Amino acid sequence: MRKDVVVLGAGIVGVSIAIHLQKRGRSVLLVDRRGPGGETSFGNAGLIQREGVYPYGFPHDFGALLRYALNNTIDAHYHLAALPKLAPFLFQYWMHSRPAQHKAIARLYAPLIENSVTEHKALAEDAGSTQLLRPTGWMKVFRSEKARDEQFRDAEQVKRDFGVNFDALDAKSVADREPHLKAELTGGIHWTDPTAIFDPFALTTSYVELFQRLGGELAEGDARSLEETASGWRIRTEKGPVEAGEVVVALGPWADLVTRRLGYRFPLAVKRGYHMHYKPEGNAVLNRPTLDFERGYFLAPMANGIRLTTGAEFADRDAPKSPVQLKRAEPIAKQFFPLGERVDQEPWMGMRPCTPDMMPVIGKAARHKNLWFSFGHAHHGMTLGPITGRLMAEMITGEKPVIDPKPYRPDRF
């Protein structure tokens, strides 16, 4: 079999790239080791984060660093044995998160974020799945006046700099919008521009079905079998060997399985995360995704129930699950909102592929012809999948890119 392009990785990023290439007349094979959307794209907070112009940085205040060092929080956890390996990445991450540097990065990152909702809506309309997108925004709520006032100031700055809209809420306004929250709160921020996703896996699946209706094909295969040929690339799949003129590596946290074999050394690390679904008790309803800011966990209404998600776990990518953050969060979350029994048999774990400068790797490989990279989207993979897909397809086909891709180029490292 021969194709114009093989896309390696069928998460939201790879699926979006495949759709946009197929729309532009390329014959595309989407290759994954398992079903599409079953890895990192499956478990997330279900948000298209239009407000997320500042990628998640490493804290610089001493109090937060001390709190994380104790390793007993919900929003961050680390494996001691993994720290020596992670130390170079964490140091670079900390350096890039300095206030002035972080602000500069936000300016480069914002064009991706600014197109996130519109590009998702465009794909959802084509896929017939707009019912999975809900224009509810999301809320960040506070237990102390200090946290509330600090976050209000930060939100005002984001609005001034990037035009993102929000409502500043007092305690009564929070209760009006989410009457079933039980905690004593001082206020909240309702980010109104983001879009909530009722079922992220179903949305990704609908995009896959769109890709197939456009004539694209799927195959299971091992990305590590990729090899260069005189006329392009070859990979072994369940459908036999496939040759293609061009290849896109969109493997998320597993990108290094291909890039290292080809001689590229990206400073890629993973932040692992967990989720669990719960039935709401009685007639309790959560109207929109909500972050309990000072406790560090997130609740989102989903098709399968109320999804409780945790923060970042710094560990070896392939280490066994250690959902201690869920255990810490569950009793606090049940005091915050009337969560009932667990729905899932066991906690789900996923891995966010991260770069130290908090921006994805999007662009052409430096030393190989017709090889492209698209990974490292960290916490915003679901948010940035469709805009990344459009940008990558435009670059591959020689169109004028919708935004300047230079800040995300692979050779910046």
Would you list the domain boundaries of the chain? 1-57+97-132+197-268+355-413
Backbone phi, then psi, for 229, in 5-degree steps? -125, 180
Residues β-bridged to residue 349 = 274
DSSP 3-state of 308: strand
Question: What amino acid is encoded at 143 in this protein?
Answer: R
pTM of the model: 0.96
pLDDT in tens, the chain (413 residues): 999 999 999 999 999 999 999 999 999 999 998 888 777 778 888 999 999 999 999 888 877 778 888 888 999 999 999 999 999 999 999 999 999 999 999 999 999 999 999 999 999 999 999 999 999 999 999 999 999 999 999 999 999 999 999 999 999 999 999 999 999 999 999 999 999 999 999 999 999 999 999 999 999 999 999 999 988 999 999 999 999 999 999 999 999 999 999 999 999 999 999 999 999 999 999 999 999 999 999 999 999 999 999 999 999 999 999 999 999 999 999 999 999 999 999 999 999 999 999 999 999 999 998 999 999 999 999 999 999 999 999 999 999 999 999 999 999 99
Separation of first and last alpha carbons in the chain: 35
Residue 130 carries which DSSP code? G
316: closest CA among 349, 347, 362?
349
In the numeric block, which tokens belong to residue 245? Answer: 């003129």
258: closest CA among 14, 62, 22, 94?
14
1-57+97-132+197-268+355-413 has CATH 3.50.50.60 classification: yes
Q: How many whole angstroms separate alpha carbon 224 and alpha carbon 233? A: 12
CB-count burial class (<10 Å; 0-12, 13-18, 19+) for 37: buried
152: closest CA among 187, 177, 120, 185?
187
Q: Which residues contact 153 (CB under 8 A, 6 or more apart)?
A: none
* Residue 66: per-residue pLDDT: 81
β-strands 240-249, 371-375: how paired?
Answer: parallel
